Structure 1
Amino acid sequence: MIALAGSGWCLGDPVPLDRLPEWDGLADGERAACSALGIESVAVAESAGATDLAAVAARRALDAAGRSAADVDVVITVEARAPETLVSSDATRLQAALGARRATAFSVGGLGCASLTPALLTAAGLLRGPDVRTVLVAHGSKPATSRRYRHPVTVNGDSGGALVLTASGGTRIRDVLLETNGDYADLFRVHYRDRPYDQWREECADPTAYSFRLAVETRNRLRDLTARLLARNGLTPADVTTYVAQNLSLPSHRNYAEVLRTPLAPSCARNLARYGHLGPNDTFHNLHTGDVPPGGRVVLLDTSPTAAWSAVLVETGVGADGTHLL
């Protein structure tokens, strides 16, 4: 069990879908599918890179936790879907931007939208050791291509998110489960080596596999993961205050509600409509804006078409000074 001492966010300005540069170039079927996602606008920060967004969010998270960059022992960067440059290190770039000179910095990822979960597992292991007291996890989310619409999945917005994790505190991450299936490793892909950036396109190699086979497996995985998470913590569904998930689309939210037999937290639909999909930042941002009362138990669920599925159990509380840490 680890604690969430503070979180920070940096979101682009909401831009209506029909004002995106790509909108007029969408085919009729793409535009119809995009309009049905439940996304009214997306967060856009054109002048900021992924590291810029992550750095702003990290500073805000440290302020919320009452800590400085000098207090950070480890900086874990959740890697971007497309790095800003090849060969160089986004992890140590973020470390330098923060001035966290004493820290060790590295990145984790490889699971798309679910890539925050391995960062939590890594932080939990580090915080069990004698020399690590504060871990900063940060991610800057930017589209991998020049197009924000990912047919037929979602629309990507720009965001930075950061969590300050410690060994103890009022808001506790009690348990984390993660499952993966390499059968879908290449289901979505962007060919880039032989073409300029403005010609990069994300492709779904098998739309039927995504819409049917993976959809059925996702329902089963989420149902089983949630049941296992609760059972091994001695809880029942009645003990859960609310559920949050990532923001892909309203149909995906309905799918979650059917699997869980209860609606998601209202913050999920609000943030989906206003900001679009914020990548791995979605779930903890939905938790942060979800008005969960002290003592509440929340299950955070993530899926990724790579494919990966995760479930995280969080208990909210108050710190020693009576301040709600979220």
Structure 2
Amino acid sequence: MAAPLAVLAAAWHLPERSTPLSEIPALTPQERETMNGLGIERVLADDALGDHDLAAAAARQVLADAALRPEDVDALILVESRAPQDLLTSEATRLQDALGLQDALTFSVGGLGCASLTPALLTARGLLAADPALRHVLVAHGSKPATPGRYRHPVTLNGDSGQALVLARTGPVRVLDLLQETNGSYWDLFRVDFRDRPVAEWREECRDTAAYSFRLAVESRNRLRGLLERLMERSGMRAGDLAGLAVQNLSAGGHAFVQDALGVELLPSCTENLRRYGHLGSNDSLLNLYTAREDKHLADGDRVVVVSTSPVAAWSMLLAEIGDGQTAHLL
């Protein structure tokens, strides 16, 4: 039986600055029409903050919320950025130095785009299971779009955010199960051709929009249904036992797609955060869960499935239970 995993504390750094859709530059008429139908009114955007700044701000906040000193953090896992500021440097140890975590085991994970939080959670669970002396794992990510235009046609509009989690064996949000699947045939469905191009000319390009809109959509529906079925079977639950879904904020259409595919209502926070923030990479699913918790839409004992997807393609589901943080749940 697997070792327990829980979120002891979670924090986000959301920039105060935001940009309305009307100020998003350099779009074709078709792209602007699609973007205007995403269900996003504004997108968080602060060009003065890089991915490191966003991750560091969230990490400092979560350590303060958890009343942890630097020496209390046993491991630091950085979810890597999509476009690092410099080549050959270590983003992970840069954050370690900024936070003063000199004794923490430090490294980065990623490679799955908007679903890259899942590898960090799986790794943290493994560390806690493997070493009884290890108590706290800090997971941090600064989500910054790879291109200045922020728009990924025909998918979403990307904003800025920082997220940090303190993971332990007990906590107020317990991770009861975690599943992930990938399909490598979509590894380059979206890409940015950046070599020998100034940053101002970087654009996210879809290799095959028909593959994204149709073939990947059908596979995503099947994958998500299969994952939910496995998750419910492993936990002895039915989908009707869930208090809701926390999903990524890609678009209103994406929300409807997941809700229809799984037959479970989305948490109200998903729609509201989509409207206010835009897509926040791998940060927005848990943000939606915690927003619903703070808004009293979730109560102790409620169980929620957190869904993450990525066009690379990757799909993951996390079964979370809201609780008092005093009991270690076994998978």
Instruction: Give the match's secondary structure for 1:290.
Output: helix
User: Are residues 1:306 and 2:312 paired?
Assistant: yes
User: 1:169: Cα distance to partner?
Assistant: 2.9
Within 5 A, what are the aligned runs for 1:1-326?
A: 1-12=4-15, 13-20=17-24, 22=25, 25-128=26-129, 129-291=131-293, 292-320=298-326
Instruction: Provide Cα deviations, 1:7-63, integer angstroms capped at 9, x if missing partner.
Output: 01001233211123x1xx311101100000000000112111101100111111112
- The 2-side partners of 1:314 and 1:260 are apart by 17
Give the whole-Å Cα distance in 1 for the aligned partners of 2:261 and 2:70: 41
> Equivalent residue of 1:46, what SS?
coil
1:294 match: secondary structure: coil
Gaps of 5+ in 2: 327-331
Moved more, 168-177 or 147-156: 168-177
Q: Distance in 1 between matches of 2:133 and 2:111?
A: 27
Query: How many residues are aligned here?
Result: 318
1:68 deviation in Å? 2.1
User: Can you list the C-alpha shifts for 1:188-233, whole angstroms capped at 9, x where unaligned?
Assistant: 0111112111111111000000000000000110111011011101
Return the letter of the residue paired with 1:4: V
For the Cα contact (< 8 Å) 2:170–2:325, is it kept in 1? no
Paired amino acid for 1:215: A
SS of the residue 2:106 aligns to: strand
Query: What is the CA-CA distance between 1:263 and the residue it aligns to?
Result: 2.3
1:93-121 deviation per Cα after TM superposition (whole angstroms, max 9, x unaligned): 11111111110111000000000000000
SS at match of 2:292: coil
After superposing on structure 2, the runs of 4+ consecutive aligned residues of structure 1 that deviate more than 6 Å are none
Describe the superposition over 1:53-77 as per-residue Cα deviations: whole angstroms up to 9, x where unpaired.
0011111111222212221111000
Letter in 2 for 1:92: T
How far apart are residue 257 of structure 1 and its match? 1.0
Moved more, 153-162 or 232-241: 232-241
Report the RMSD for the aligned CA atoms in angstroms.
Answer: 1.2
State how far apart, in whole Å, the 1-side matches of 2:67 and 2:127 are: 21
User: What is the CA distance between 1:236 and its match in structure 2?
Assistant: 0.9
Which deviates further from its counterpart, 214-223 or 67-76? 67-76
- Specify the SS of the correspondent of 2:235: coil
Question: Which whole-Å deviations, capped at 9, do the CAs of 1:253-279 have from their partners, x for residues lacking one?
Answer: 000110121321010010101000000
Contact kept in structure 2, 1:11 and 1:45, CA below 8 Å:
no
Equivalents in 1 of 2:27, 2:239: separation in Å?
A: 42
Tell me what 1:323 maps to.
none
8 Å Cα contact 2:9-2:171 kept in structure 1: no
Supply the AA of the counterpart residue of 1:7. A
Contact 2:240/2:264 (8 A) holds in 1: no
- The aligned amino acid for 1:15 is T
Q: Distance in 2 between matches of 1:185 and 1:241?
A: 33
Structure 1 equivalent of residue 329 of structure 2: none
Q: Taking structure 1 as the reference length, what is the TM-score of the superposition?
A: 0.95
Q: Distance in 1 between matches of 2:71 and 2:18?
A: 34
CA shift, 1:161, in A, is 0.3
CA drift at 1:179: 0.2
1:272-306 CA-partner distances (Å, limit 9, x unpaired) = 01000000001111111012211110100111000
